[in-house]
Structure 1
Amino acid sequence: MDIATVVGVLAGFALIIGAILSGGSLKIFVNVPSLLIVVGGMLCSVLIHFSLGQFLAIFAVIKNAFFHKAHSPVILIQQMVNFAAINRRDGALALEQEMRKVDDPFLVKGLQALVDGQEEDDIRALMGMETEYMQARHGDGKKILEFMGASAPAFGMVGTLIGLVQMLQNMSSPDDIGQGMATALLTTFYGALLANLVFIPMAGKLGQYSKSETLAMEMITEGVCAIVRGDSPTVVREKMQAFVSASKRADVKVTI
């Protein structure tokens, strides 16, 4: 679980609720019609803009913003250095034993291609295609959240217009004027809150996750290809250290 995302969302809502309670009752900020206009309208627009499959994947996309298993570049480099040492000492077939200890499907696929004796160009093409499709999937999820972040305030404005029309048509009744104004203002509030505290930040977080995962997959690709070429563990380490900052490079050791 990404602690920063959880803390950010909870702290943001706590801050808003605290500000409301400091000046009055939370009850006056609860308006079901306003919420239906914003949330319902936003979901309908998503359903129109995207396919049914993409719409049904909304919850999975939001889940990915909270739960993400990050790869450690230093650990990845150390793994590839160790695999290079095993390959040089015992041959490619010895890596089959090591594959059982790996829980990354992408790394397993690369090692399996290596063990099968595929050429470097074929391995690079295979793993490059996998990376591109991963980026496309993540890009679709990010686009959904960005669209939700854009449509929520728009439907907040729609609710505001509805509330103003209701208010202007009932100027003779003070109660109806108050209800119309509540709908008008609260829909704008709901739309702005959901967009700027939930959907847009989550889209940005998914973008960061995608960059991190792309980097990890590129590191794995380069490491596997270096092993295929028969590079020594030291050479593999030196090449892959280009992916990390200088302060972390000393953590990677060559073990043969």
Structure 2
Amino acid sequence: MAIVSAPARLHRVILATGSLQRIAGFYTTVLKLQSAEPPRECKTKQASFLPAEPFLTFVARPGLMSALPAFKPLGGVALGVRREALDDWISNLAAARIQPTGRAWAFEDEYLCLSDPDGSELALVEADFDIPHLVGVELHVRHNSNQVGLMAQRLGFATVDVDGPTTRLQMEPRGIFLDLLDHPLDAGPTSDAETMLRSYHEIVFRVRETDDLNPIADDARQLGFVATWHDGAPPYVMINLGEHCDFDFRICAD
């Protein structure tokens, strides 16, 4: 593996939505998230949330979302909330007539699970934040999670634990995590429409220097992924995780 000037940092998670108005109402009114500046990565109708990176961004694709309501490329997003506040959140959700899907323990943390209006899975987990922040992402991985894990390690994550079929990688110093859930029976996209919808789901990382992009792309190709250079402001490398996962990694220079 080549050496870069500094590890990448998780900058943004991009998801497709069927309705920007509905999704904005949920995240700002129910979950009390702040709106964020429009991202340079999206050149379409979009909405972004959270007070600091990593941001959570939604792009409007109502036709695809209505045609494929069951296709969910992302395993889930974890939002860190104030410690000892999960019971308060249950009350807040009940006031908004939202029923959590359950509570669960993983990696010594308790999660309050729910779904957003598009059916994407969310989890609230106790952390040192007065207002919610994005603290982790779960990806469903097919065939060989080790390959995706190696790519994540190349970007600055380190494997910290394994809980059943889930491998947790974590990025310092903020402790943002990436959970890789082995999902061998998932067939992945089976139609052109699903492939197109998949293309609107990305995890965006940033590196300090443009010169860091080519070494990362070379490492991705050595792991068997397709890595494509894109000129722009900023320039970026798109890493297609192919058969392994329904998300792409976009690596941008600051």
Between Structure 1 and Structure 2, the one with more strand by share is 2
**Looking at both structures, which has the greater relative contact order when contacts are Cα pairs under 8 Å and sequence separation is at least 6?**
1
Q: Which has the higher helix share?
A: 1
Q: TM-score of the superposition, structure 1-length normalised?
A: 0.21
After TM superposition, the score normalised by the length of structure 2 is: 0.21
